[in-house]
Chain A
Amino acid sequence: MKKGTLKQILLLTDGCSNQGEDPVAIAALANDQGITVNVIGILDDDQSEQPEGLEEVEAIAMSGGGVSQIVYQKALSQTVQMVTKQAMTQTLQGVVNQELKQILGEKQSFEELPPDKRGEVMEVVEDLGETCDLEVLVLVDTSASMTPKLSTVKEALFDLSLSLNARSGNNRFSIFCFPNKMKPIQKLMDWTPELDGISKVFPKLASGGITPTGPALKEAMYQFGKKSLFGSMKHASEPYEETGN
């Protein structure tokens, strides 16, 4: 298998969407186009672990083929990097699974393999996870209730680049926020390999009470196609884009 690029959207939010398309449907659409959607729900320190409105978090990630987690601010840094890596493994495993099915028949999957064979497959997945290229679009909900959490978010994203840049593969990050009065999402940082400049892009952002998560996700999806630098979208229907033939 050739080295390829994994595409992920990482949505950071603290509440329920209340305007526009259903984000669960949009996430399914994104997944279909080879983009994994991960969601992290951020709790207030005094909130219970199962607050209303955050059920959506799991549903979006599930239909986006990604990973979800609901956490308190304190655990955000470690969660962000864990969720991203876990989703990478998951996607890569999915690709390997597809290959297995082609070779061994429809009924074969990773979980169905005997343990020792599974071990060999896992080594391949791990190698891919270390070397593949990764593009993460971070989509931050900056509605009013998120404002006090933004400094933690900034820290967590910085930490994310620390974790991912320890890999051998290349990384590209971009940061968008929503809502915006004029458009569904607002670009805070264009595609970049490092998140060093992140401190500058977190100004005091606060908007109204609406949370149009669906439209924001949809717009985020298009951002992957917009950059010509990173190869074409020929194999958009594959979750794992193969390049370098």
Chain B
Amino acid sequence: MQVNHTKKLVTNLKRGTIIRGKWNGTQYQVIQKLGEGACGIVYLCERNGVYTALKIGTDSSRIITEVNVLKTFQKVQGKRLGPSLLDVDDWVTPAGVTYPYYVMEYLKGQELASFLHGRGKEWLGVMMLQLLSDLEELHKQGWVFGDLKTDNLLVTSPPPKLRLIDVGGTTKIGRAIKEYTEFYDRGYWQGGSRKADPAYDLFALTMVMMEVAHGRRFERGTNPQQTLEKKLQQPELLKPYRRLIKKAWHGEYSYSHEMKKDLSSILNGPSKYKMMENRHTRVSRRKEARKTSFAAAELGVIFLSLLLFYFLFSIIVW
């Protein structure tokens, strides 16, 4: 097959550009660029007043591969994994170049890091718990997310819910991971193979926590395992999760539910309970203080009115 090497990614679609489907004629109006992935660019588009996310690429085989994954997700009843797929088509530009694209529901949300910023420590754990539930569902269906990273996560609200976006790396269990990012890759850190198994995602999840805690990604250096250990000890944010993360690194969790169990027992642990109790006593004490001052005021009023009454009475008698 002759691959068109000169076909460039459509990086600069202007606001108002109309993308019209070659096969079904559906039209979308470009509003703005949302992001850029390995195999395409995602634009916010509008159709009949509804916002959608449209991913356009150059390599139709890669676009179609993602569409295939999204389609299997739609078949899953109940829980929704990833954004829902709305349309698949080709766009022929006025210049005559054909670009494949697909359209998903538009998920409006915040990046994980900016969501966590200024919120309590427990939020990281809660978000990871949500992520583990989704991964568990995905693994049950026979898939591994693969390219799990902060860029592919979005917090929608209310209520705050962590969502997986960009399914480009999603791979059938037992196969070679389709797409990965070094920082999150078990193989890069010499922590195991690149074969898709549930533990691969769990490793990547710990690296999401590492990135959030450090505010950046870092390199493996000459001794990858040692680098990880060192980086785990530094941030205060990760303190409650250190044991959990280490267990994931050593492959002690084969399935999400095992890690989920440990994480939820950390989150439900005694430290939090104590914190709640403290707050409770502080509040009631304040209430009591308020009560006494109320009582004093009441007494004062009664005393004053008695005094006034006595005064008036004595005048009348006189």
Cβ contact within 8 Å between A168 and B64: no
Which listed residue, B5, B61, B64, B89, touches A62 by the CB 8 Å rule? B5
Mask: chain B, 52-95; 1 = CB below 8 Å from A; 0 = not: 00000000110011011001000000000000000011100000
Cβ contact within 8 Å between A78 and B182: yes
- Complex CA gap A130/B65 in Å reads 14
Mask: chain B, 192-212; 1 = CB below 8 Å from A; 0 = not: 011110000000000000000
Min Cβ gap B99→A in Å is 11
Assuming A90-B1, A115-B67, A159-B187, is B61 touching A130 (CB within 8 A)?
A: no
- Complex CA gap A119/B61 in Å reads 8
Q: Does B289 contact A (CB under 8 A)?
A: no
Cβ contact within 8 Å between A163 and B1: no
Q: Does B148 contact A (CB under 8 A)?
A: no
For the complex, would chain B's binding face be called helix, strand, loop or mixed by DSSP majority? mixed
- Complex CA gap A77/B220 in Å reads 13
Q: Does B3 contact A (CB under 8 A)?
A: yes
Which listed residue, A77, A89, A114, A116, touches B61 by the CB 8 Å rule? A89
Residues of A within 8 A of B5 (CB): 58, 62
- Complex CA gap A137/B264 in Å reads 49
Residues of B within 8 A of A162 (CB): 187, 193-194
Cβ contact within 8 Å between B64 and A119: yes
Residue of B at shortest CB range from A90? B3
Size band of the interface chain A makes with B:
20 to 34
Q: Does B112 contact A (CB under 8 A)?
A: no
Assuming A62-B5, A115-B90, is B64 touching A166 (CB within 8 A)?
A: no
Residue of A at shortest CB range from B62? A89
Q: Does B175 contact A (CB under 8 A)?
A: yes
Q: Does B34 contact A (CB under 8 A)?
A: no
Cβ contact within 8 Å between A130 and B176: yes
Assuming A93-B61, A166-B193, is B23 touching A115 (CB within 8 A)?
A: yes
Best-surrounded residue of B3, B65, B176 (most CB of chain A within 10 A): B176
Cβ contact within 8 Å between B1 and A118: no
Q: Does B152 contact A (CB under 8 A)?
A: no
Cβ contact within 8 Å between B61 and A166: no
Cβ contact within 8 Å between A93 and B176: no
Min Cβ gap A203→B in Å is 20
Q: Does A46 contact B (CB under 8 A)?
A: no
Best-surrounded residue of B3, B23, B65, B67 (most CB of chain A within 10 A): B3
- Complex CA gap A166/B179 in Å reads 13
- Complex CA gap A114/B23 in Å reads 7
Task: For chain A, residues 158 to 183, give those with C-beta under 8 angstroms from any C-beta of chain B.
Answer: 159, 162-168
Min Cβ gap B227→A in Å is 15
Which listed residue, A110, A115, A159, A163, touches B88 by the CB 8 Å rule? A115
Residue of A at shortest CB range from B5? A62
Q: Does B32 contact A (CB under 8 A)?
A: no
Residues of B within 8 A of A125 (CB): 61
Q: Does A106 contact B (CB under 8 A)?
A: no
- Complex CA gap A62/B67 in Å reads 28
Q: Does A122 contact B (CB under 8 A)?
A: yes
Task: For chain B, residues 160 to 196, give those with C-beta under 8 angstroms from any C-beta of chain A.
Answer: 174-177, 182, 187-188, 193-196
Cβ contact within 8 Å between B176 and A167: yes
Residues of A within 8 A of B188 (CB): 77, 159
- Complex CA gap A167/B193 in Å reads 11
Min Cβ gap B69→A in Å is 10
Task: For chain A, residues 118 to 177, give those with C-beta under 8 angstroms from any C-beta of chain B.
Answer: 118-119, 122-123, 125-126, 130, 159, 162-168
Q: Does B130 contact A (CB under 8 A)?
A: no
Q: Does A97 contact B (CB under 8 A)?
A: yes
- Complex CA gap A93/B60 in Å reads 11
Cβ contact within 8 Å between B68 and A122: yes
Residues of A within 8 A of B193 (CB): 162, 165-166
- Complex CA gap A125/B100 in Å reads 18
Q: Does B27 contact A (CB under 8 A)?
A: no
Residue of B at shortest CB range from A62? B5
Residue of A at shortest CB range from B194? A166
Mask: chain A, 5-36; 1 = CB below 8 Å from B; 0 = not: 00000000000000000000000000000000
Min Cβ gap A228→B in Å is 29
Cβ contact within 8 Å between A118 and B64: yes
| Chain A interface residues toward B at CB < 8 A | 58, 62, 77-78, 89-90, 93-94, 97, 109-111, 114-116, 118-119, 122-123, 125-126, 130, 159, 162-168
Q: Would you give 6 A-B contacts (Cβ < 8 Å), ordered by A?
A: A90-B1, A119-B68, A119-B71, A164-B176, A166-B194, A166-B196
Query: Considering the complex of A and B, which 10 residue pairs feature the smallest CB-CB distances, nearest first?
Result: A166-B176, A94-B1, A166-B194, A115-B88, A166-B195, A167-B176, A122-B64, A97-B1, A162-B187, A118-B64
| A111-B98, A163-B194 given; 16 more Cβ-contact pairs under 8 Å | A78-B182, A94-B1, A109-B1, A110-B1, A111-B60, A115-B88, A115-B100, A119-B64, A122-B61, A162-B194, A164-B176, A165-B193, A166-B176, A166-B177, A166-B194, A168-B175
